[in-house]
Amino acid sequence: MDNVKDINITTAEWRIMRVIWTLGSATSRELIDILGESMDWKPATIKTLLRRLVDKDIVATTKQGNKFIYTAKMQETDTIELTTKQFFDQLCARKVGTAIASLVDESELTAEDIDKIKNALDKKQPVEEIKCNCLPDNCNC
By CB under 5 A, name the binding residues for Zn ion. 92, 94, 132, 134, 139, 141
71 and 20 in contact (C-beta within 8 Å)?
A: yes
Q: Which is nearer to Zn ion, 52 or 94 (CB)?
A: 94
- C-beta of 135: minimal distance to Zn ion in Å? 9
- C-beta of 131: minimal distance to Zn ion in Å? 9
Q: Which is nearer to Zn ion, 9 or 92 (CB)?
A: 92
- C-beta of 28: minimal distance to Zn ion in Å? 45
- Report the candidate in 93, 85, 89, 102 with the shortest Cα–Cα distance to residue 129: 93
AA identity, residue 87: F
Q: Which is nearer to Zn ion, 56 or 95 (CB)?
A: 95
β-pair partners for 26: 70
Q: H helices of the chain, where?
A: 11-23, 28-39, 43-55, 76-89, 96-106, 111-123
